[in-house]
Amino acid sequence: MEEMDGATILPQQSDFSYYLAKKEILLIQLKQQNKLLEKIEQLKRQKEEQAQEIRGLDAQKEILIAMMYSYKEEMDDEVKKEEVEEDEGAIRPEGFSSYSESKKY
């Protein structure tokens, strides 16, 4: 409402319609922003869950790598043991210090 020369003038009906429409537009925008904020929060949670899953997979990978190297060392030791056993019972060809060395040629 406005006052002019001491008299109160009521706003026109079109002014009310304008403000009601503006209010509705602002409410719709606010709802859209809330939905976007909720989506952002959901994506942040998903990102954190995925990061935790990746950390778990990295830890499993490290364990598997360690197991693989351990197994490789065991196999290398087994092969060396077999070579020593072969060397102990074999006749060494001339010019070679062991039977397994002669097998390389």
Q: Does residue 15 lie within any of the structural domains? A: yes
Total structural domains within the chain: 1
pLDDT value of residue 78: 86
Residue 96 lies in a domain: no
How far does Cα 68 stand from its chain's mean position?
Answer: 24
Phi, psi of 7 (to 5 degrees): -100, 140
pLDDT of 1 reads 46
Residue at 31 is within a domain: yes
**For residues 84 and 101, is the Cβ–Cβ distance under 8 A?**
no
Q: Whole-angstrom Cα distance, residue 92 to residue 83?
A: 13
62 is a domain residue: yes
pLDDT at 26: 97
pLDDT digits (tens, 9 = 90+) for 11-30: 566 778 889 999 999 999 99
Task: Assess if residue 104 is contained within a domain.
Answer: no
What is the extent of the structural domain holding 34? 11-86
Per-residue pLDDT of 51-77, as tens digits, reads 999 999 999 999 999 999 999 999 998
